[in-house]
Amino acid sequence: MASRALNRLRHASKVAAHHLGVLAVLRRMRRRECSLILRYHAVAPDDLPAPAYAGPDITIPRALFAAQMRFLRRAYAPVPLATIVEAIGRGEAPPAGTVAITLDDGYADNYHQAFPVLQSLRLPATVYVVTETLDGGPSLWMSELRAAMMASHAPRLRVEIGGGYEFALEGEAERQQSIKDLTNVLVPVDAALRRRILTTIRHELAVNGNADLAQTMLTSAQIREMHEGGITIGAHTQTHSNMTLISAEQARIEIAGSRERLEAIVGAPVPDFAYPNTGGRYPHCNQSVATIIQQLGFRSAVTSRPGIIGATSDAFLLPRIGVAPRLYREAALAVTLERYRLFGEAHA
């Protein structure tokens, strides 16, 4: 009870600080030379806020996304990612108040929902794309798993990996937790073996895991149109595997292969990369992989670790602030961004 009351008090203080203009005054008084990068994933239609292909923790409804974009344009200076990276390359801090918008994985809703919003507000953004899913390829493996487990009527699922795991599927909360737990189990598994395991899981659950996944990932034509409309396209590996859990040679193939596929689509260099980070249980980036990315000729790589960006930031380990459901409301996002900007770290 006390905990809930404290959370309500914290929320009320955030709303008050935002709407009373306290944050706006702080932004004007302390023009700290640093930048922020925001990380989004799926942007769902308002009439379908819980799609089968993406979990609630990474899906923001279009109306809330649009409200956040209007806030960013009003309170900050949204810039292309290149503006931030080029400043670091010169040994300079990014311009004060700048922010870059990024979206991961390559969901088709980035084209149908986010792109029109960004265009209408004339905001730059970077979309990082997993390439094996393009143009009739397999669904994103996490989406395939989620769709199968959500569609099944089975009360439980047993998976024979590493001694065996059993996952409860009876209640909504149990099902969502089981999806997260099994996703983490599959993260370190080889990509090809993981696909075979997913086929077995669909059989065990007596569902077609791809039934609700048609047209949920970007096509080459959509990527090309977004690129021509001013969106930066970035590489995000071929299979959305964790680059720290595979060999250096495999990482090199995944990273370079995704870039080559995207460059062929847009007819231009694709110099930016995002480290996949599924589940959050395992480290998803390190200096060894950053060195590979640099050797391959990229200009930047972004992580899922939060933080601010200054003159001394590593362009191949750039932090990003993940916009989770607790930050979907404008006041919560505003307070969190200012805490990062003013103090360099925050706990939302």
Q: pLDDT digit string (tens) for 257-269?
A: 999 999 999 999 9
Average pLDDT over residues 322-348: 83
The pLDDT score that the predictor gives to residue 118 is 98
Q: Percentage of the chain with pLDDT > 70?
A: 88
Average pLDDT over residues 146-151: 93
55-70 core/surface letters (b: 16 or more CB in 10 A; e: else): beebbbbbebbbbbbe
Tell me what percent of the residues of the chain surpass a pLDDT of 90.
81
Q: How far apart are CA 28 and CA 249, in angstroms?
A: 48
- Average pLDDT, rounded, for the chain: 90
Range scoring the smallest mean pLDDT among 16-25, 158-167, 252-261, 318-327: 16-25
- Answer whether 134's CB lies under 8 Å from 218's CB: yes
Answer whether 270's CB lies under 8 Å from 260's CB: no
Give me the CATH code for the 32-135+216-343 domain, please: 3.20.20.370
Other Cβ atoms within 10 Å of 288 Cβ, number: 11
- pLDDT tens for 189-218 read 999 999 999 999 999 998 865 557 889 999
SS3 of residue 321 by DSSP: strand
Q: Specify the pLDDT at position 21.
A: 53
Note whether 53 and 330 are within 8 A (CB). Answer: no
Q: Give the residues across from 35 on adjacent strands.
A: 98, 309
pLDDT score of 20: 46
Q: What is the pTM of this model?
A: 0.91
